[in-house]
């Protein structure tokens, strides 16, 4: 099977003729089986061979970003359907994009110009309206006041009297020419504007402002802002220049205004007419623009895809070495040995199509570098492999726990989640995902849904196994069923109606599969199930840990490491099995013989006083002698694990090192060299202590771990107990209680509460916690026996894995 | 705050200190500069910068680039960083951050006033202003005719107002006046900033007083060198020196009477921290002095990051970024004008 060990890989050198390079890379990207090594890591981006093409791609993506932004502004969304290849190549696309960009920019510039004029005219119109109003009201006031003045010639100043007209009226002889400036200023700036005006002219101006109710588009920036119309009256040229400067500084647009009514009217009509004209022109421009954008939007996705591909191809091309003659490119990278033929075929095809005179040379390199880890996975296995990868990527060709995980993971989960009713619920959910797989995978899902969808096959396996264990536990939402025939137990005499009381006797053959339904609800139900599940957990745990240690044997054998076999695998096997393997044997013997022996007692006194008589706890003949032997074996195994390996490693190293030091001595009497040599030796000496400490830690971890890991497997029992108790609580205290009231409404409420609790607590939360515990059992208790997990993943160059960020 | 910064600093300043240290690690390294110096065109520079923190700011620029665009976008990045930090800051850090910009404000005021004096367009001048030193009514500066008006019209609303107390005169503005005004303002600003940092106490006061003292000393030297041969009297010159720093007070007395660059040098060499600056310069040379000062400054700012739980890192980061932008400007100018041999003249490596 492919999954047992990662694919054998090879480091390959490709010499690609330069004319076929682009196409070759493109084909390799489609194939997605070649991981390129970056041969130009220390070159800065602009020194690379294909820097100019990368620049061009960058420029084109910028254009596409511009289009996208414009489309967003115009409210056109590009069609997201997967578009077919547009048949364009990069050069044509570049020309086309440039044309379109120029056109779009021109339209935009025209529109902007028109909009600018339009906004100015709108503002002008506002000024005309507001200032006109002001002038006419001031005139009316002035006329009225003059009449008053004629009646009573005492000059009376009040704040709301119009200053200008009054001056005009009271001292007409002086003929002071009062000028005025009118315009618009944005509202938030109006107060500082007024303040600065006041300060700059020492109060010798009259400012009148009127609020414009709606937003006005500023002609310069195009933003919509609140504005005030103002008129400033002043006298003198110096003040005028000052005011104009201040107006400029505040971004206040000035507009000419005439105080003659006739001219005002004429200007008003003129402005309104031009506004209407401009409006139609602008609308036509906008329509033109949106048709252009729609045209762009239609092909946007395919261009984007093409650019993404091109960019990634050039990124790869930049990783390659160009040789001196500039006729071919040198690529290095990893590929699975099994894919070599495919790759060669594709490369040949590429060179043929490009009419290249020489073919691509495919050459396998010898290397000491650790190759990447690659597993051929499919839809089903990939999520299980993911569980293992989340802990650490397997070392190259290391035994892959992923294979065993496919069965053991859902099984351990199911041990904790044993209820075939709940299992069926899970199965239905996951079947929905699996059946609609194709439809859902093309959609964008939320975070949580994505996770559930990604693990759909895991959930399916978990559901199947929990149906299986549920049948063994005989639980269906905590209700027992007599599925496999009638119960084996019956009343001793017809008078006992209540099956929970004592006095049941075995009337038939043993219930054929799983737990007898009669156990449910009896007083001895819990002690019985606890004893069953606890022992089962230990059996499962010991066997899984044994599997882990055996895998470490296969690893050692595969990598030819005899020290690990004899001084790690063997003592570990002996230690674990002489203690907990023996316990498992005792459990099975007890089950088979129906003995009353107390296993706790046996295990504890095996350590405390191994020579004592076992008494009634004896399960088989010669048990005492057997136990003492096992104990001695376990005691021997500990130093065996600890001591030989580091010393053997040291010896091995010294043997290898000896040759080196001889050759170095021969090579020269250089004091420098011998010095460096001694440093070298010191370094190695130092490493020995490190190895020894490491081995010490490893041994302690294993010895303590054998106890604690076995205890850790008891979580299987604990969680399964919690699950069944919770579900029986919901069934008894909610559903049956509601049933007891004989009231439809109470019953409906009860059913709703029951369903919510079942789904929320049992199906979601309990399954999550069981999932986590199963995960832990795999990562810690199982994988720490053998798994190194310090490899790195094979990440081939592939077009399908290009993400959105690569493009826009 | 003295001595117990470690206990309480992170309550308000921890997040921002983390942010600023993150920004600092985004500064260009020597390797980056080496690569940048090898660029052939401005597009190459853009390409190289696209891999740095400037990337997002430059990526939407159409291809024929100009030096000004690069500098503008890089400054925008600095301004964005600053604004983000200012938004998140609480007292007294926010005041501290605002203090950092006052220097730019003074420069902007001087720029606009000088520009108007030479009848430049206000809009054009505004574009040249440093965005960190902008304030609302800055454009109105163009209206002012003399110092008094300048103060009364515009600056009374700005944080610079208190610094003006020294230089309100009714004289019309001219180049000399403006230069004196700039230095008087700067003096007042540095002294105020110095007092503020002393008030903050702790490591901030310690490190900032060192950095500001260097700044003050550098200004004193620059004022001296620039005023040699002008009509500025010794007393006036003396008045422009800030009243703190290593030179205060005896160095100032000596600087005030200096008549040529070698005398300045003789004064400075009495102060051990500044001896190293002159070690590389030959006698009578003042061109390279600026670069030497910049290098020393960068070194001191980098050192500010060695301590934790103080505000000087913000000041140091802003200054380092500004130096980096100056470097980028120089490199891009050299590349644009095909003067690559001169690239190394003015680039100050930060790390």
pLDDT tens for residues A183-220? 888 888 888 888 888 877 777 888 888 888 777 777 77
SS3 sequence, A505-517?
Answer: EECCCCCCCCCCH
How close, in Å, is residue A200 to chain B by CA atoms? 6
Contact A44 B48 (CB under 8 A): yes
Q: What is the mean pLDDT of residues B241-267?
A: 84
Percent share of chain A, pLDDT over 70: 88
**Which of B43, B47, B140 minimises the CB distance to A196?**
B140
Residue of A nearest to B149 (CA): A200
* pLDDT reading at A544 higher than 80: yes
Range A626-648 average pLDDT? 92
pLDDT score of B317 = 93
Check A54 against B143: CB less than 8 A apart.
Answer: no
> Are the C-beta atoms of A131 and A257 separated by less than 8 Å?
yes
pLDDT of residue A424: 94
Residue A358 pLDDT > 90? no
Nearest chain A CA: its distance from B40 CA (Å): 9
Q: How far is A245 from chain B (nearest CA, A)?
A: 6
B140 with A59: Cβ contact below 8 A: no
**What Å distances lie between residue A418 and A624, A719, A720, CA to CA?**
38, 10, 7
B38/A contact by beta carbon, under 8 A: yes
What is the DSSP secondary-structure string of A134-169?
A: HHHHHHHHHHHHHHHHHHS------TTS-HHHHHHH
User: Residue A469: is its pLDDT beyond 50?
Assistant: yes
pLDDT at B170: 62
Q: With contact defined as beta carbons under 8 Å apart, do A504 and A528 qualify?
A: no
Tokens of A172: 């007409």
The answer to whether the Cβ–Cβ distance between A246 and B143 falls below 8 Å is yes
Q: What is chain A's length?
A: 808
CA distance A258 to B312: 59
Are A248 and B153 a contacting pair at CB < 8 A? no
Q: Is the peptide bond preceding residue A447 cis, with omega within 30 degrees of 0? A: no
What is the Cα–Cα distance from B14 to B4, expressed in whole angstroms? 14
Residue A605 pLDDT exceeds 60: yes
d(CA A4, CA A664): 44
Angle between helices B312-336 and B14-25 (to 10 degrees): 20
Coil, strand or helix at A781: helix
- The number of angstroms, rounded, from the C-alpha of A366 to the middle of its chain's C-alpha atoms is 37
pLDDT for the residue numbered B20: 93
pLDDT at B142 over 80: no
For helices A402-416 and A767-776, angle between their N-to-C axes, nearest 10 degrees: 140
Average pLDDT over residues B164-168: 72
Of A391, A393, A373, A389, the closest CA to residue A381 belongs to A389
Is A185:A228 a contact under the CB 8 Å cutoff?
yes
Inform me whether the pLDDT recorded for A173 exceeds 70: no
Task: With a cut of 80, say whether residue A83 has pLDDT above it.
Answer: no
Report chain B residues whose CB lies below 8 A from the CB of A46: 35, 39-40, 43-44, 47-48
Residues of A whose CB is below 8 A from B137: 192, 196, 249
Q: Report angle CA B101, B107, B110 to the nearest 5 degrees.
A: 145
Of B38, B136, B143, the CB nearest to A192: B136
Q: Chain A residue closest to B63 (CA)?
A: A59
Tokens coding A658: 């000896």
Q: Give the pLDDT of residue A808.
A: 47
Burial B206-240 (b: 16+ CB within 10 A, else e): ebbbbbbbbbbbbbbbbbbbebbeeebeeeebbbb
Which of B133, B101, B49 has its CA nearest to residue B327? B49
Query: In this complex, which of B35, B43, B143 lies closest to A249 when CB atoms are compared?
Result: B143
pLDDT confidence of residue A805:
52
In this predicted structure, what is the pLDDT of residue A445? 77
What pLDDT shows up at residue A496? Answer: 62
Regarding beta strands A361-365 and A9-17, do their DSSP bridges make them parallel or antiparallel, or are they unpaired?
A: antiparallel
Taking the Cβ of residue B50 and every Cβ of chain A, the question of whether any pair is shorter than 8 Å is answered with yes
Give the model's pLDDT for residue A425. Answer: 93
Task: Identify the bridge partners of residue A304 per DSSP, sorted by sequence position.
Answer: none
The alpha carbon of residue A106 is apart from the nearest alpha carbon of chain B, in Å, by 15
pLDDT at A682: 44
Nearest to A45 among B40, B51, B60 (CB): B51
Tokens of A48: 């690379």
Q: How far A54 CA lies from chain B's nearest CA (Å)?
A: 9
Cβ atoms of A782 and A401 within 8 Å: the answer is: yes
Q: How many CB pairs under 8 A join A and B?
A: 68
Using the predicted structure, report yes or no on whether residue B31 has a pLDDT greater than 70. Answer: yes
Exposed e or buried b for every residue in A574-612, given b needs 16+ CB within 10 A?
bbbbbbbbbbbbbbeebeeeebebebeebbebbeeeeee
Q: What is the mean pLDDT of chain B?
A: 84
What is the rounded average pLDDT of the residues A675-686?
A: 47
Average pLDDT of the segment spanning A531-536? 93
Q: What is the mean pLDDT of residues A487-492?
A: 77
Q: Which residues contact B113 (CB under 8 A, 6 or more apart)?
A: B141, B144, B150, B173, B178
Q: For chain B, which domains are there?
A: 10-80+311-350 (1.10.132.50), 89-200 (1.20.1690)
Q: Which of A115-124, A237-246, A646-655 has the lowest mean pLDDT?
A: A237-246
3-state secondary structure (DSSP) of residue B335 = helix
B284: pLDDT strictly greater than 60: no
- Collect all residues of chain B within an 8 Å Cβ-Cβ radius of residue A68: none
What mean pLDDT comes out for the span A143-165?
60
pLDDT level of residue A710 (50, 70, 90 thresholds): very high
Query: Considering only CB atoms, which chain A residues are within 8 Å of B142?
Result: 245, 248-249
Tell which wins on pLDDT, B171 or A361. A361
Q: What local confidence, expressed as pLDDT, does residue A431 receive?
A: 93
Q: How does the average pLDDT of chain A come out, rounded?
A: 83
Residues of B in contact with A66 (CB under 8 A): 60
Q: Taking CB atoms and an 8 Å limit, are A245 and B152 in contact across chains?
A: no
- How far is residue B21 from each of residues A80, B33, B310, measured CA to CA in Å? 41, 20, 12
pLDDT value, residue A86:
58
Confidence band for B144, pLDDT divided at 50, 70 and 90: confident
pLDDT at position A665 is 46
**Across A302-306, A460-464, B205-209, least confident range:** A302-306
Task: Say whether residue B42 is in contact with chain A using an 8 A CB cutoff.
Answer: no
Nearest residue of B to residue A54, measured between CA atoms = B47
Q: How confident is the model at residue A169 (pLDDT cuts 50, 70, 90)?
A: very low
Mutation to test the A interface, candidates B143, B151, B332, most A Cβ within 10 Å:
B143
What is the band of A676 on the pLDDT scale with cuts at 50, 70, 90? very low
pLDDT at residue number A391 = 92
| More confident site: A633 or A136 | A633
pLDDT single digits (tens) A367-402: 888 899 998 888 888 899 989 999 999 988 889 998
Q: Residue A578 in contact with residue A633, Cβ under 8 Å?
A: yes
On the question of pLDDT at B163 being above 80, the answer is: yes
Q: Distance between CA B223 and CA B205 in Å, rounded?
A: 26
Distance from CA of B163 to the nearest CA of A (A): 20
Q: What is the pLDDT of residues A211-236, one digit of tens each?
A: 887 777 777 777 778 888 888 888 88
Per-residue pLDDT at A167 exceeds 50: no
Q: Which of A44, A55, A242 is the closest to B35 by Cβ?
A: A44
Q: What are φ and ψ of residue A470, in 5° steps?
A: -60, -40
Query: Which of A573-582, A674-683, B41-50 holds the top average pLDDT?
Result: A573-582
**Among B347, B335, B326, CA closest to B74:** B326
* Residues forming a β-bridge with A210: A229
DSSP β-bridge partners for residue A12: A333, A364
pTM passes above 0.90: no
pLDDT of res. A175 = 53
Q: What is the mean pLDDT of residues A462-481?
A: 91
The CA distance from A87 to the nearest CA of chain B, in Å, is 26
Residue from the list B39, B59, B140 with its beta carbon closest to the beta carbon of A249: B140
* CB pair distance less than 8 Å for B142 and A249: yes
Q: Which two tokens stand for residue B157?
A: 């609303």
Mean pLDDT, residues A580-602: 90
Q: Check whether B252 has a pLDDT greater than 50.
A: yes
Angle formed at CA A168 by CA A162 and CA A169, multiple of 5 degrees: 85
Contact across the interface for A44 and B40, Cβ inside 8 Å: no
- Residue B48 has its nearest CB partner, among A46, A196, A199, at A46
Residue A112: predicted pLDDT = 86
The minimum CA-CA distance between A242 and chain B, rounded to whole Å, is 6
A278 and A117 Cβ atoms separated by less than 8 Å: yes
Residue B249 has pLDDT above 60, yes or no: yes
For an interface test with B, which of A98, A245, A253 has the most B Cβ atoms less than 10 Å from its Cβ? A245
Q: Smallest Cβ distance to B48: which of A45, A66, A246?
A: A45
Interface test with A, best of B29, B140, B144 (most A CBs within 10 A): B140
B137 touches chain A (CB under 8 A): yes
B contacts of A62 (beta carbons < 8 Å): 59-62
Q: Tell whether ipTM is more than 0.85.
A: no
Split at pLDDT 50, 70, 90, the class of B320 is very high
Which of A311-315, B10-14, B162-166 shows the lowest per-residue confidence on average (mean pLDDT)?
Answer: B162-166
- Contact call for B62 and A62, based on CB within 8 A: yes
Is the pLDDT at A683 greater than 70? The verdict is no
| Average pLDDT for A22-30 | 87
Percent of chain B topping pLDDT 90: 21
The tens digit of pLDDT for each residue in B167-215 reads: 666 666 777 778 888 888 899 999 999 999 998 888 888 899 999 999 9
Q: Report the percent of chain A where pLDDT is more than 90.
A: 25
Out of A353-357, A584-588, A626-630, least confident range: A353-357
- At A117-126, the pLDDT tens digits run 888 888 888 8
pLDDT digits (tens, 9 = 90+) for A549-576: 999 999 999 988 888 899 999 999 999 9
Whether chain A has a CB inside 8 Å of the CB on B139: the answer is yes
Instruction: Tell me if B43 and A55 make a contact (CB, 8 A cut-off).
Output: yes
Interface test with B, best of A40, A41, A43, A44 (most B CBs within 10 A): A44
Distance from CA of B305 to the nearest CA of A (A): 29
Query: In this predicted structure, what is the pLDDT of residue A675?
Result: 44
pLDDT above 50: residue A807: no
C-alpha to C-alpha distance for B26 and B350, rounded to whole angstroms: 12
């Amino acid at each position: 099977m492919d999954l047992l060990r990662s694919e054998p890989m090879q480091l390959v050198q490709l010499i690609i003729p330069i004319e076929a390079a682009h196409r070759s890379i493109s084909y390799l990207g489609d194939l997605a089986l070649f991981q390129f090594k970056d041969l130009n890591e220390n070159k800065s981006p602009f020194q690379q061979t294909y820097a100019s093409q990368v620049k061009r791609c960058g420029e084109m993506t910028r254009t596409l970003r511009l289009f996208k932004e414009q489309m967003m502004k115009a409210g056109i969304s590009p069609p997201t359907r997967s578009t077919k290849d547009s048949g364009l190549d990069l050069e044509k696309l570049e020309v086309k994009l440039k044309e379109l960009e120029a056109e779009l920019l021109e339209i935009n510039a025209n529109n902007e110009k028109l909009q600018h004029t339009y906004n100015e005219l709108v503002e002008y119109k506002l000024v005309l309206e507001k200032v006109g109003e002001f002038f006419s009201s001031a005139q009316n006031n002035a006329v009225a006041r003059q009449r008053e003045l004629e009646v009573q010639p005492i000059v009376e100043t009040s704040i709301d009297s119009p200053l200008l007209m009054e001056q005009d009226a009271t001292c007409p002889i002086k003929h002071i020419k009062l000028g005025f400036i009118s315009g618009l200023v944005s509202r938030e700036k109006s107060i500082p504007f007024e303040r600065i005006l006041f300060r700059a002219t020492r109060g010798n101006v009259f400012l009148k402002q009127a609020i414009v109710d709606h937003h006005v588009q500023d002609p310069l920036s195009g933003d919509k802002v609140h504005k005030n119309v103002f008129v400033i009256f002043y006298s003198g040229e110096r003040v005028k220049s000052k005011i104009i400067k201040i107006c400029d500084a505040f971004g206040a647009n000035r507009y000419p205004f005439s105080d003659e009514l006739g001219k005002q009217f004429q200007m008003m009509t003129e402005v309104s007419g031009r506004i209407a004209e401009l409006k139609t022109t602008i609308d036509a421009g906008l329509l033109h623009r949106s048709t252009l954008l729609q045209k762009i939007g239609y092909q946007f996705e395919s261009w984007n895809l093409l650019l993404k591909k091109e960019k990634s191809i050039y990124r790869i091309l930049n990783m390659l070495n160009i040789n001196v003659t500039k006729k071919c490119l040198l690529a290095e990278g990893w590929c699975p040995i099994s894919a070599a033929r495919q790759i060669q075929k594709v490369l040949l095809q590429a060179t043929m199509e490009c009419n290249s005179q020489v073919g691509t040379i495919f050459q396998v390199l010898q290397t000491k570098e650790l190759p990447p880890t690659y597993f051929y996975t499919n839809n089903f296995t990939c999520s299980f492999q993911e569980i293992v990868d989340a802990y650490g990527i397997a070392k190259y060709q290391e035994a892959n726990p992923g294979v065993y995980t496919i069965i053991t993971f859902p099984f351990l989960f199911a041990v904790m989640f044993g209820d075939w009713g709940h299992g069926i619920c899970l199965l239905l959910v996951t079947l929905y995902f699996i059946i609609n797989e194709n439809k859902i995978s093309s959609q964008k899902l939320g975070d949580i849904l994505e996770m559930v969808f990604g693990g759909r096959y895991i959930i399916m396996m978990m559901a199947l196994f929990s149906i299986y264990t549920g049948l063994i536990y005989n639980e269906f939402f905590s209700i027992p069923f007599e599925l496999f025939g009638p119960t084996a137990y019956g009343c001793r005499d017809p008078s006992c109606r209540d099956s929970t009381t004592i006095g049941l006797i075995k009337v038939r053959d043993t219930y054929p599969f799983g737990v007898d339904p009669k156990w449910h609800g009896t007083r001895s139900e819990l002690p019985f199930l606890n004893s069953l599940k606890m022992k089962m957990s230990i059996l499962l745990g010991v066997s899984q840990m044994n599997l882990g240690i055996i895998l470490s044997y296969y690893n050692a054998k595969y990598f030819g490491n005899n020290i690990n076999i004899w001084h790690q695998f063997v003592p570990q096997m002996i230690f674990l099995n002489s203690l907990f393997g023996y316990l498992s044997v005792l459990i099975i013997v007890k089950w088979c013989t129906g003995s009353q022996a107390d296993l706790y007692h046996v295990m504890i006194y095996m350590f405390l006083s191994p020579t004592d008589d076992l008494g009634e706890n004896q399960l088989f003949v010669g048990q005492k002698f057997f136990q003492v032997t096992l104990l001695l074996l376990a005691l021997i195994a500990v130093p065996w694990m600890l001591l030989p390996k580091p010393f053997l490693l040291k010896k091995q190293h010294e043997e290898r090192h000896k040759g080196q030091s001889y050759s170095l001595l021969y090579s020269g009497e250089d004091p420098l060299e011998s010095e460096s040599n001694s440093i070298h030796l010191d370094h190695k000496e130092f490493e020995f202590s490190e190895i020894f400490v490491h081995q010490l830690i490893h041994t302690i971890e294993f010895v303590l771990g054998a106890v604690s890991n076995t205890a850790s497997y008891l979580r299987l029992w604990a969680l399964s107990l919690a699950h069944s108790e919770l579900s029986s609580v919901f069934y008894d205290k909610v559903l049956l209680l509601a049933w007891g009231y004989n009231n439809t409404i109470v019953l409906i409420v009860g059913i709703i509460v029951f369903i919510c609790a079942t789904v929320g607590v049992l199906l979601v939360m309990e399954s999550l916690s069981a999932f986590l515990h199963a995960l832990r059992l795999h990562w810690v208790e199982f994988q720490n026996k053998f798994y190194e997990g310090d490899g790195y993943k094979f990440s081939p160059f592939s077009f399908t894995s290009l993400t959105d960020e690569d493009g826009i | 705050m003295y001595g117990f910064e470690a206990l309480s600093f992170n309550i308000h300043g921890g997040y921002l200190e983390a942010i600023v240290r993150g920004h600092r690690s985004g500064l260009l390294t020597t390797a980056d500069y080496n690569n940048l110096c090898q660029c052939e065109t401005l597009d190459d520079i853009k390409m190289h910068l696209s891999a740095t923190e400037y990337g997002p700011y430059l990526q939407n620029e159409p291809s024929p680039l100009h030096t000004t665009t690069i500098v503008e976008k890089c400054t925008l990045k600095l301004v964005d960083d600053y604004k983000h930090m200012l938004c998140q800051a609480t007292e007294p850090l926010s005041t501290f951050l605002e203090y950092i910009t006052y220097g730019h404000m003074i420069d902007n005021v001087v720029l606009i006033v000088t520009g108007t004096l030479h009848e430049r367009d206000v809009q054009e001048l505004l574009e040249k202003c440093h965005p960190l030193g902008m304030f609302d009514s800055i454009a109105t500066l163009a209206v002012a005719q003399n110092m008094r008006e300048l103060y009364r019209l515009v600056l009374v609303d700005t944080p610079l107002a208190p610094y003006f107390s020294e230089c309100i005169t009714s004289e019309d503005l001219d180049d000399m006046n403006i230069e004196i005004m700039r230095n008087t303002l700067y003096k007042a600003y540095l002294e105020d900033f110095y007092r503020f940092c002393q008030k903050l106490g702790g490591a901030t006061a310690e490190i900032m007083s060192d950095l500001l003292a260097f700044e003050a000393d550098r200004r004193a030297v620059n004022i001296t060198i620039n005023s040699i041969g002008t009509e500025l009297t010794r007393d006036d010159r003396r008045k422009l020196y800030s009243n703190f720093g290593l030179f205060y007070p005896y160095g100032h007395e000596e600087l005030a009477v200096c008549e040529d660059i070698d005398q300045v040098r003789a004064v400075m060499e009495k102060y051990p921290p500044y001896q190293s600056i002159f070690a590389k310069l030959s006698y009578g040379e003042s061109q390279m002095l600026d670069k030497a000062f910049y290098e020393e400054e960068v070194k001191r700012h980098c050192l500010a990051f060695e301590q934790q739980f103080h505000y000087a890192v913000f000041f140091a980061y802003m200054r380092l970024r500004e130096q980096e932008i100056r470097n980028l400007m120089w490199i891009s100018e050299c590349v644009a004008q095909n003067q690559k041999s001169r690239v190394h003249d003015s680039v100050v490596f930060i790390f």
